[in-house]
Amino acid sequence: MLNVMNTYLKFNRKRLINYSKIILEKYYNKTIFEGLIDTYFNLRYTELPSGLCAKVINKDLVKKAEILSKDNDVDDIKLILSYFPFIYYLDGFLKKDIDVIVDKVNDFRFKQLNLEPIDDELKSTWISDKKRIDKYLDSFDSKEFYLSTGKTRVKNLYKTEVMHLVKIPKLYSDYAIDKVYNRGIVLENKLFINYTMVSVLVLKDILNLDCNYYIVEFSKSLIEKEDKLKRLFNIIDNDIVKDRVILSVNENDFLEYRDSYLKYINEGYKFILYLSDDSSLKNDSIRKVFSYVVDNDVVEVG
Q: Cβ contacts of residue 83 below 8 Å, gap of 6+?
A: 20, 23, 24, 108, 112
Q: Give the closest residue to 264 by CA, choosing from 240, 284, 301, 236.
A: 236
Residues of the chain with pLDDT under 70: 47-51, 165-184
Helix residue spans in the chain (DSSP H): 4-24, 30-42, 54-68, 74-83, 85-91, 98-108, 119-138, 174-181, 184-207, 226-235, 239-244, 251-256, 258-266
Confirm if 248 and 271 have CB atoms less than 8 A apart: yes
At 8 the pLDDT is: 98
At 284 the pLDDT is: 85
Q: Is 292 exposed, middle or buried (0-12, 13-18, 19+ CB in 10 A)?
A: buried
Q: Give the closest residue to 182 by CA, choosing from 248, 251, 278.
A: 248
Over residues 76-94, the pLDDT tens digits come to 999 999 999 999 999 999 9
At 299 the pLDDT is: 83
CA dist., res. 220 & res. 254, Å (int)? 9
Q: Give the closest residue to 292 by CA, choosing from 237, 213, 232.
A: 213
Distance of CA 132 to the CA centre of its chain: 18
CA dist., res. 50 & res. 105, Å (int)? 29
At 5 the pLDDT is: 97
CA dist., res. 89 & res. 10, Å (int)? 18
- Greatest C-alpha distance within the chain: 76
Report the residue count for the chain: 302
Helix residue spans in 84-145 (DSSP H): 85-91, 98-108, 119-138
Give the residue extent of every domain in the chain. 4-138, 145-301
At 94 the pLDDT is: 94
Distance of CA 141 to the CA centre of its chain: 17
Backbone φ and ψ of 146, nearest 5°:
-145, 160
At 185 the pLDDT is: 72
At 173 the pLDDT is: 47
At 164 the pLDDT is: 76
At 178 the pLDDT is: 52
Give the gyration radius of the chain's Cα atoms.
Answer: 23
Does the pTM surpass 0.85? The reply is yes
Over residues 285-298, the pLDDT tens digits come to 899 999 999 998 77
Q: Give the closest residue to 245 by CA, choosing from 280, 194, 174, 210.
A: 194
